[in-house]
Structure 1
Amino acid sequence: MRTLLRLWPYVRPVRARLFSAAFIAVLASCIGLVIPLVLKWMVDGPIADRDPAGVWLGALYLLLLGLAEALLFGFRRWLVARPLSHVEAEMRAGLYRHLQRLPIAFHDRWASGQLLSRATGDLALLRMFFAFPLTFLLVNGVTILVGVIIMLVQDWALGLVILVPAAPVLITCVVFEKRYSLAARQAQDQVGDLTTVVEESVLGIRIIKGFGRHRSQARAFRELSGKLRGTELHKARLLATILGIIVTLPEFAIGAALVLGAVQVADGTLSAGTLVAFLSTALALRWPVDSIGFLLAMSQEAATATERYFEVMDAEPESGTTASAGKRGARREGGLRFENVTFRYPDAPQDSPPVLNRIDLHIRPGESLALVGATGSGKTTLTALVPRLHEVTEGRITLDGRDITEMSREELRSRVAVAFEEPTLFSATVGENVLMGGGTGEEDLERALAVAQADFAHALPQGTATQVGEQGLSLSGGQRQRLALARAVVGRPDFLVLDDPLSALDVHTEAAVEAALRRVLADTTALIVAHRPSTVLLADRVALLSGGRITAVGTHHELLRGNAEYAHLMSGDPAEELEEQR
Structure 2
Amino acid sequence: MSALIALRSYLFRYRVAMIGGFLFLIIANGVALILPYLIRLAVDSLQVRTDPGALLRFGLLIVLVGLVQAILSYYGRFIQAEVSRRIEYELRADLFKHFEKLELDYFQHNKIGDLVARAINDLTAVRGLLGPGISNLLNTTVAFTATIILMLTIDARLTIYSTSVLPLISVVFIVLARKIERSYKSVQDQFGEVSAQAQENFSGIRTVKAYTQEEYELHAFRTANQEYVRLSIIYARFYALLWPAMYFLAGLAAVILLWRGGLDVIEGRITLGQMVQFTGYLAQLTWPMIAFGWVVNLFQQGSASMKRINEVMDHQPTIVGPEPSLESTNEPLRDHLEGKVEFQHVSFSYGDREVLHDINITVEVGSSLAIVGPTGSGKSTLVNLLPRMFDVSKGQVLIDDVDVRKIPLALLRRQIGYVPQETFLFSVPLAENISFGLEALDTKRLQEVMQSAQLTKDVEDFPEGVTTMIGERGVTLSGGQKQRTSLARAIAKEPAILILDDAMSSVDTHTEADILKHLQRVMQGRTTIIISHRCSTVKNLDHIVVLDEGRIVEEGTHASLLQLRGLYAEMYRRQLIGEELEDS
TM-score of the superposition, structure 2-length normalised? 0.92
Q: Does the 8 Å CA contact 2:535/2:571 hold for their aligned counterparts?
A: no
Partner residue in 2 for 1:326: none
- Structure 1 distance, partners of 2:565, 2:303, is 62
The code of the aligned residue for 1:461 comes to P
How many angstroms does 1:158 deviate by? 1.1
The code of the aligned residue for 2:250 comes to P
Q: Does the 8 Å CA contact 1:497/1:528 hold for their aligned counterparts?
A: yes
Q: Does the 8 Å CA contact 2:535/2:575 hold for their aligned counterparts?
A: no
**Could you report, residue by residue, the CA deviation over 1:398-431 in whole angstroms, capped at 9, with x for unpaired residues?**
1121221111111111211100011111111111
Partner residue in 2 for 1:102: 102
The answer to which of 335-344 and 121-130 deviates more is 121-130
How many angstroms does 1:5 deviate by? 2.0
Answering whether residue 528 of structure 2 is matched by residue 520 of structure 1, we say no
Partner residue in 2 for 1:5: 5
Secondary structure at 2:366 match in 1:
coil
- Structure 2 distance, partners of 1:185, 1:496, is 46
Q: Does the 8 Å CA contact 2:339/2:496 hold for their aligned counterparts?
A: no
Secondary structure at 1:366 match in 2:
coil
How many angstroms does 1:181 deviate by? 0.3
- Structure 2 distance, partners of 1:274, 1:30, is 19
How many angstroms does 1:482 deviate by? 0.5
- Structure 2 distance, partners of 1:47, 1:228, is 62
- Structure 2 distance, partners of 1:113, 1:344, is 27
How many angstroms does 1:333 deviate by? 11
Q: Does the 8 Å CA contact 1:437/1:490 hold for their aligned counterparts?
A: no
Q: List runs of 5+ in structure 1 lacking aligned partners.
A: 324-331
**Could you report, residue by residue, the CA deviation over 1:295-317 in whole angstroms, capped at 9, with x for unpaired residues?**
21111111122112222122213
- Structure 1 distance, partners of 2:339, 2:448, is 27
Assess, with a 3 A threshold, how the Cα gap between structure 1 residues 44 and 538 changes in structure 2: closer, same or farther.
Answer: farther
How many angstroms does 1:189 deviate by? 1.0
Assess, with a 3 A threshold, how the Cα gap between structure 1 residues 267 and 308 changes in structure 2: closer, same or farther.
Answer: same
Partner residue in 2 for 1:52: 52
How many angstroms does 1:523 deviate by? 2.0
Partner residue in 1 for 2:463: 461
Equivalences for residues 15-164 of structure 1 within 5 A: 15-164=15-164
Q: List runs of 5+ in structure 2 lacking aligned partners.
A: 325-336
**Could you report, residue by residue, the CA deviation over 1:224-280 in whole angstroms, capped at 9, with x for unpaired residues?**
111111222112211221222222123212211211111121122221111111111
- Structure 1 distance, partners of 2:338, 2:192, is 49
Answering whether residue 345 of structure 2 is matched by residue 340 of structure 1, we say yes
- Structure 2 distance, partners of 1:563, 1:28, is 90
- Structure 2 distance, partners of 1:316, 1:125, is 24
Q: Does the 8 Å CA contact 2:158/2:257 hold for their aligned counterparts?
A: yes
Secondary structure at 1:29 match in 2:
helix
The code of the aligned residue for 1:477 comes to G
Equivalences for residues 239-278 of structure 1 within 5 A: 239-278=239-278
User: Size of the alignment, in residue pairs?
Assistant: 563
How many angstroms does 1:209 deviate by? 1.6
Partner residue in 1 for 2:512: 510
- Structure 2 distance, partners of 1:237, 1:440, is 58
How many angstroms does 1:101 deviate by? 1.2
Q: Does the 8 Å CA contact 2:426/2:472 hold for their aligned counterparts?
A: yes
Assess, with a 3 A threshold, how the Cα gap between structure 1 residues 134 and 570 changes in structure 2: closer, same or farther.
Answer: farther
- Structure 1 distance, partners of 2:510, 2:576, is 27
- Structure 2 distance, partners of 1:94, 1:443, is 38
The answer to which of 212-221 and 438-447 deviates more is 438-447
Partner residue in 2 for 1:329: none
- Structure 1 distance, partners of 2:147, 2:262, is 20
How many angstroms does 1:287 deviate by? 0.7
The code of the aligned residue for 1:372 comes to V
Selected match of 1:489 from 488, 491, 495: 491
How many angstroms does 1:322 deviate by? 6.5
Q: Does the 8 Å CA contact 1:425/1:471 hold for their aligned counterparts?
A: yes
- Structure 1 distance, partners of 2:143, 2:570, is 83
The answer to which of 464-473 and 26-35 deviates more is 26-35
| Identity rate, percent | 30
- Structure 1 distance, partners of 2:338, 2:437, is 27
**Could you report, residue by residue, the CA deviation over 1:380-414 in whole angstroms, capped at 9, with x for unpaired residues?**
11111000111112211111212211111111112
How many angstroms does 1:125 deviate by? 2.0
TM-score of the superposition, structure 1-length normalised? 0.93
- Structure 2 distance, partners of 1:49, 1:161, is 32
- Structure 1 distance, partners of 2:525, 2:441, is 19
Selected match of 1:549 from 523, 532, 551: 551
- Structure 1 distance, partners of 2:291, 2:321, is 49
Root-mean-square deviation (Å) = 2.1
Secondary structure at 1:206 match in 2:
helix
